[in-house]
Chains A and B, each alone.
Chain A
Amino acid sequence: GAVVSQHPSWVICKSGTSVKIECRSLDFQATTMFWYRQFPKQSLMLMATSNEGSKATYEQGVEKDKFLINHASLTLSTLTVTSAHPEDSSFYICSAKHTGKNTDTQYFGPGTRLTVL
């Protein structure tokens, strides 16, 4: 149980285009989902907290107009990287907090590798 999927697993795009990444909790409901960014051999950096039915909460230094987050249902959150540039190339990982469990545990997706040319 507690499986989180991401789509796509990798994407290559041209500079200036927008890319949407989906995060789904497959067998549980997740009121809260999180988006992280990770550079090679480094830890995860929290970008934003996504709450179902409300606006996302962004971490300091993360541009909310560039990284659009939508959490329209209890099982789906999307991250759209708008007007992507090469410096946006990274490994993006989402996680979901199980609504039905009184625990801090987050379940992570497999990640999406974004390469901007």
Chain B
Amino acid sequence: TQLLEQSPQFLSIQEGENLTVYCNSSSVFSSLQWYRQEPGEGPVLLVTVVTGGEVKKLKRLTFQFGDARKDSSLHITAAQPGDTGLYLCAGGSDLLSSGGSNYKLTFGKGTLLTVNP
């Protein structure tokens, strides 16, 4: 069973502060996705990283995939109240089973971020 440890689980910060969320695993993933979810809605994809060591930037968000493709981080610079939400990392893997391919996403437990004005 693949596990993805996400930390911190809860984070409450003031507007303007920086923060980093981590996802770690002992397993290798073919890709790593980061999602943001608002209450009562489905997760919205922020980014997909597929190459070890890859860094992607999305405005104030910086995503990094570890060299060994076992870990990832999300860094937010100068957080704003609009960044409040549940951030989820998910590792993609294709586990060959007796019936063929068994692709699935393994989700971390999520980080509930609150940015106070």
A80 to B40, CA, bound (A): 20
B57 at interface (Cβ–Cβ under 8 A)?
no
**Alpha-carbon separation in the docked complex, A93 to B109 (Å):** 16
Interface SS, B side: strand
Bound complex: CA A106 to CA B44 (Å): 10
**Interface contact tally, CB-CB below 8 A:** 67
Which residues of A (66-86) have their CB < 8 Å from a CB of B? Answer: none
Interface residue SS majority, chain A:
strand
By size class, the interface of chain A is 20 to 34
**CB atoms of A93 and B42 under 8 A apart:** yes
Instruction: Show 10 A/B contacts (Cβ-Cβ < 8 Å), sorted by A.
Output: A43-B88, A43-B109, A49-B103, A57-B102, A104-B48, A105-B48, A106-B90, A108-B43, A108-B44, A111-B42
